[in-house]
Amino acid sequence: MKILVTGGAGFIGSHTVVELQSAGYEVAVVDNLYNASPKVIGRLEAITGKKVPFYKVDIRDREGLTEVFEQEKPDAVIHFAGLKAVGESVRKPWEYYENNIGGTLVLTDVMRKCGCKNIIFSSSATVYGDPAFIPITEECPKGTCTNPYGWTKWMLEQILSDLHTADPEWNVVLLRYFNPIGAHKSGTIGENPNGIPNNLMPYITQVAVGKLEKLHVFGNDYDTHDGTGVRDYIHVVDLAKGHVCALKKLEPGSGLSIYNLGTGVGYSVLDIVNSFEEATGVKIPYVIDPRRAGDIAECYSSPEKAEKELGWKAENGIREMCEDAWRWQSMNPQGYGD
């Protein structure tokens, strides 16, 4: 079975390529390298010892994408390609809607014209908004998003569901990720944010490596065990393996499936700081700042449905997540260095 991975040079996509190849799948990668380094492909090949066919193509480029489909004839698509910076999406909503929604519309049109109607889509826990209940199950109603990035995920879930309703030949898996962190054990691929990181773990690793002075903790007056925000952090390799398991839901007649990919465990910001210090021996200075607009107090999953139906469960704990994030950052202080 051959899988086309859009956004396969990015953080989660690159780790998924490793797990797909290790599980015996053929892969091909499409990425416009907007938020990824061309070095990733060579590093993937070094990890798996297998060739990774790569196309520097934008998914909005209908002709270019059609050529890839004609060349590779994939059986299924795992669709990571998209813009993901929450703050930037507030400043550039048009760009986010055009890239994420416009891109997915072109992709799915090319797919159906080429007879490939199997797709796994990268969604996010952000579609739950301020969740109606915790731990969040897939039955939890979708909520109100606080930014255009979140709305693109919300709307793309609807668009892909509608495609399946209109044409049951489509098999669609929506995977709602919680907070992916960590990196491959080799320390050769990992998260490579542009500029100052928005997310907690890359900020911490950049403090640890001396690129940033101290962590700013956004609020310590939430209704949580220590007042700081609680999230469901998941090792990116576990998340990648979740995609391999989700492929079984693309069998003919599977239809539409939705899964949370998380660990079911919530850690606060200060829990993460302490775990990082314990796992690495590196001290993380921090100050308490006001709350960040749009943040919620607590967000963690119930991962039971994925375990029951996909046979998938996150295996790595917080220590491995911290150790592996740190190995990547300390071996690559400038990321991929381009």
How far is residue 212's CA from residue 208's CA, in Å, rounded to a whole number?
A: 8
Q: Which residues are catalytic?
A: 149
Is the CB of 102 or the CB of 227 nearer to ligand NAD? Answer: 102
Cβ–Cβ < 8 Å for 302, 264: yes
Interface residues toward ligand UD1, by CB under 6 A: 86, 124-126, 150, 179, 198-200, 203, 216-218, 229, 231, 269, 292, 294-295
Q: Which of 2, 39, 60, 292 binds ligand NAD (CB under 6 A)?
A: 60
Q: Which residues pair with 299 in a beta bridge?
A: 231
Closest CB 181 distance from ligand UD1, rounded Å: 8
Shortest separation between residue 313's beta carbon and ligand UD1, angstroms = 19
Asked if 328 touches ligand NAD (CB under 6 A), the answer is no
Residue 10 sits in the site that holds ligand NAD (CB under 6 A) = yes
Biggest distance spanned by C-alpha atoms of the chain: 55
**Closest approach of ligand NAD to the CB of residue 17, in Å:** 11
Count residues binding ligand NAD (CB under 6 A).
26
- Partnered with residue 301 across adjacent β-strands are 136
Of 333, 317, 310, the C-alpha closest to 265 is: 317
Q: Cα 269 vs. chain centroid, distance in angstroms?
A: 20
Contact track, ligand NAD, 271-290, x by CB under 6 A: --------------------
> Residue 61 or residue 295: which is nearer to ligand UD1 going by CB?
295
Task: State whether residue 298 is helix, strand or coil.
Answer: strand
Whether omega before 135 lies within 30 degrees of 0, making that bond cis, reads yes
User: Phi, psi at residue 102, to the nearest 5°?
Assistant: -55, -45
**Residue (of 280, 250, 252) closest to 4 by Cα position:** 250
Question: 97: which DSSP letter?
Answer: I
Contacted by 33, from ligand UD1, ligand NAD, none: CB < 5 to 8 Å by type: ligand NAD
- The rounded distance, in Å, linking the Cα atoms of 250 and 78 is 11
Residue among 68 and 120 whose Cβ is closer to ligand UD1: 120
99 touching ligand NAD, by CB under 6 A: yes
Residue ranges that bind ligand NAD, judged by CB under 6 A: 7, 9-13, 31-36, 58-60, 80-84, 99, 103, 122, 124, 177, 180
